A = this chain, B = another copy of it.
Amino acid sequence: MYRTHNCGELSQKDIGKEVILSGWIKRIRNFGSLFFIDIRDYFGITQLIIYKKSVKKNLLLSKESIIRVKGKVVERLSKNYNLPTGEIEIYVSHIDLLNSSLSPPFTIEDKTDGNEEIRMIYRYLDIRRDPIKNNLIIRHNLTLETRNFLSKNKFLEIETPLLINYTPEGARSFVVPSRIYTNKFYALAQSPQLFKQLLMIGGIDRYFQIVKCFRDEDSRSDRQIEFTQIDCEMSFVEVHDILTFFENFIKHIFKKIKNIQLDSFPCISYYDAIKMYGTDSPDIRFGMSFVELNDLTKKENINFLKNQELVIGIKIRKCIYEKIDCFLKKIENKNFFWIKYLYDQTFLFSNQNFLNEEVIKIFIKYFKAVPGDFLFFSYGKKIKTREELGKIRLRIAEFLNLKNPKIFKPLWITDLPLLEWDEESKKYKSVHHPFTSPKEEDIYLLKKDPKNIRSKSYDLIINGIEIGSGSIRIHNKNIQNIIFKYLGLSKKEIESRFGFFIKAFEYGVPPHGGIAFGLDRLVNLLEGNKNIKNFIAFPKNNYGKDLMINAPSFLEKEKLKELHFR
């Protein structure tokens, strides 16, 4: 028997019991004739007190070795009230070395001296550290809570195939050569998109799946080539139904996992998001939405500015202090200016021709600024101006420490454009995917102004990060064909890429829609948005390599031959 108790459960009520514990040696302190060992397992740490005479002479005890001890639970003299087991210790009568350990290549403590690379190579040692272990526990709790919540709400978890067909669409797929069918390949599914829609066509009312997805992407620090999605789909719903249901889902998760009660999620259109924040994934933990100043500059006849396509500004309250000058110097945009309203009621402002006392007072009045406030402005072409001030807004928030990782502000972005123009192929392509439904009232724009057609799509943004994305799908064959036409697909191409799916459209497709959440991102966000890799047991590095097992690697010639290569 390896243990009667684990290393995290003994307390005062157990004093006097004979116990057996097993675990890793976390710490050894030598006091001549006796020594103390902290023994650690998954559940906690327990202090052992050992007299040298009771230990075999050649027993080599070192950190991270595994021991089994027999002994009596006794009250500790100097109690440690921070540890659940801190009021007792084990007076050891017998000790076995179950396995020895070399000195680990980095410190196995909450704060480690190991860099990312060495921690990846020895990932199993990294997992012994509480921060990584706790991340895996939170991930487990999050997925279990998700499954129970969705199941209670009549969703069925259904596995869809990972070995599917290659389609030259969107992101790159990994492929898998078939040994049996010479020169043929499977592809690894990038998402269950078409399969979940087929389940709706198959009469499954509500589907979900926590599922591995694969994308052959070039290196990015916040993406993995295999990642996990919470994938959902519902029948007989409109946008409103989905937003309502999944707002409750996200609220439930935050309440259960973080004990945080989220406010109602604001819902703003893509167009408004760009207008107010210069981005389709705004961080709304801090206000600072854009104020449009074109009417003002015209009315007040402010030279130069009054002729700009767009002038926008934001006010930051009470933010004047020394270091901000240093911050301002780093902003290199030309079409940017600022006004500091000092506590002595004077102004400082950036070096622009059109700025003078009079103009400044107009702005100060318009923004109802008070001493201590700071105004930032941007002007020029609409798209660029918004984008630039959007970036500056985020940098200010960063600088002023307004991105509090303990505050969570979700919002829905809706009505994203259906199509975007692709310069390379000189064609329209889908913003989401070709099965996203347009808004009925915009269909008339197909001929005149395709890029202004809004779709029935939505993103869930939390603290500036896209956590979920989805849409109502097209269920009408005619609309589907019109969209395909505008994507420049010939009948032949449609048949070869989506033939099986189009066929299904002949047999009673229900109205349906869904959403997918990035699990890795969501759990990372919950814990302060630091590094996705810390929430994956065995992550790949930013270049798609597994440093621990050294994958990918070369194949033996025989295997290559079996797969009909060379």
B174 near A176 with CB under 8 A, answer: yes
Q: Does A184 contact B (CB under 8 A)?
A: yes
Q: Does A166 contact B (CB under 8 A)?
A: yes
Q: Which of A247-255, A334-342, A348-356, A504-512 is found at the contact surface with chain B?
A: A504-512
Q: A165-B551, A186-B552, A555-B175 are in contact. Are A127 and B199 (CB under 8 A)?
A: yes
A556 partner, pick from B42, B168, B549, beta carbons under 8 A: B168
Bound Cα distance from A559 to B216, whole angstroms: 12
Q: Which of A112-167 contact B (CB under 8 A)?
A: 122-128, 133, 136-137, 139-140, 143-144, 147-148, 151, 156-166
B residues less than 8 Å from A180 (CB atoms)? 218, 543-544
Annotate A79-103 by CB proximity to B: 1 below 8 A, 0 otherwise. 0000000000000000000111110
List 26 A–B pairs whose Cβ atoms lie within 8 Å, in order of A's numbering: A2-B237, A2-B238, A22-B511, A41-B235, A41-B236, A42-B206, A42-B235, A65-B508, A99-B475, A99-B509, A100-B508, A123-B202, A124-B504, A144-B148, A159-B537, A161-B538, A165-B549, A165-B552, A165-B553, A166-B555, A166-B559, A174-B177, A176-B188, A178-B544, A178-B552, A184-B554
Bound Cα distance from A238 to B2, whole angstroms: 8
Q: Does A366 contact B (CB under 8 A)?
A: no
Q: A2-B237, A22-B510 are in contact. Are A161 and B203 (CB under 8 A)?
A: no
Bound Cα distance from A407 to B12, whole angstroms: 49
B residues less than 8 Å from A499 (CB atoms)? 550
Q: Does A444 contact B (CB under 8 A)?
A: no
Q: Does A486 contact B (CB under 8 A)?
A: no
B residues less than 8 Å from A100 (CB atoms)? 508
Bound Cα distance from A161 to B22, whole angstroms: 29
Q: Does A198 contact B (CB under 8 A)?
A: yes
B residues less than 8 Å from A66 (CB atoms)? 508-510
Bound Cα distance from A161 to B510, whole angstroms: 36
Q: Does A104 contact B (CB under 8 A)?
A: yes
Q: Does A487 contact B (CB under 8 A)?
A: no
Bound Cα distance from A159 to B176, whole angstroms: 21
B residues less than 8 Å from A290 (CB atoms)? none
Q: Does A563 contact B (CB under 8 A)?
A: yes
Q: Which of A185-204 contact B (CB under 8 A)?
A: 185-188, 195, 198-199, 201-204
Q: A100-B508, A181-B552, A508-B99 are in contact. Are A175 and B175 (CB under 8 A)?
A: no
Bound Cα distance from A396 to B504, whole angstroms: 46
Q: Does A377 contact B (CB under 8 A)?
A: no
Q: Does A540 contact B (CB under 8 A)?
A: yes
Q: Does A500 contact B (CB under 8 A)?
A: yes
Annotate A21-42 by CB proximity to B: 1 below 8 A, 0 otherwise. 0101000000000000000111
**Closest B-chain residue to A501, C-beta based?**
B549
Nearest Cβ in chain B — how far from A127, in angstroms? 3
B residues less than 8 Å from A151 (CB atoms)? 140, 144
Nearest Cβ in chain B — how far from A162, in angstroms? 6
Bound Cα distance from A160 to B123, whole angstroms: 12
Annotate A218-237 by CB proximity to B: 1 below 8 A, 0 otherwise. 10000001101000000111
A506 near B551 with CB under 8 A, answer: no
Q: Does A458 contact B (CB under 8 A)?
A: no
**Closest B-chain residue to A64, C-beta based?**
B508
Nearest Cβ in chain B — how far from A142, in angstroms? 10
A536 near B185 with CB under 8 A, answer: no
Interface residues on A, range: 35 or more
B41 near A205 with CB under 8 A, answer: yes
Bound Cα distance from A147 to B558, whole angstroms: 41
Annotate A454-478 by CB proximity to B: 1 below 8 A, 0 otherwise. 0000000000000000000001100
A42 partner, pick from B195, B205, B212, B563, beta carbons under 8 A: B205
B3 near A236 with CB under 8 A, answer: yes
Q: Does A75 contact B (CB under 8 A)?
A: no
Q: Pick from A162, A203, A238, A549 the residue with the most CB of B within 10 Å.
A: A203
B residues less than 8 Å from A556 (CB atoms)? 168
B537 near A160 with CB under 8 A, answer: yes
B residues less than 8 Å from A538 (CB atoms)? 160-161, 195, 198
Bound Cα distance from A212 to B124, whole angstroms: 22
B204 near A42 with CB under 8 A, answer: yes
Q: Does A378 contact B (CB under 8 A)?
A: no
- Told that A41-B205, A163-B552, A499-B550 touch, could you supply 9 new A-B pairs with CB distance under 8 A? A42-B206, A123-B198, A125-B507, A128-B202, A179-B216, A180-B544, A185-B552, A185-B553, A186-B552
Q: Does A270 contact B (CB under 8 A)?
A: no
**Closest B-chain residue to A127, C-beta based?**
B202
Bound Cα distance from A543 to B187, whole angstroms: 17
B residues less than 8 Å from A409 (CB atoms)? none
Q: Does A401 contact B (CB under 8 A)?
A: no
B residues less than 8 Å from A235 (CB atoms)? 41-42
Bound Cα distance from A143 to B178, whole angstroms: 30
B residues less than 8 Å from A228 (CB atoms)? 159
Bound Cα distance from A3 to B166, whole angstroms: 37
B205 near A158 with CB under 8 A, answer: no
The 6 A-B pairs with the shortest beta carbon distances in the complex, nearest first, are: A127-B202, A42-B205, A101-B508, A2-B236, A184-B552, A165-B551
Q: Does A78 contact B (CB under 8 A)?
A: no
B residues less than 8 Å from A199 (CB atoms)? 124, 127, 537
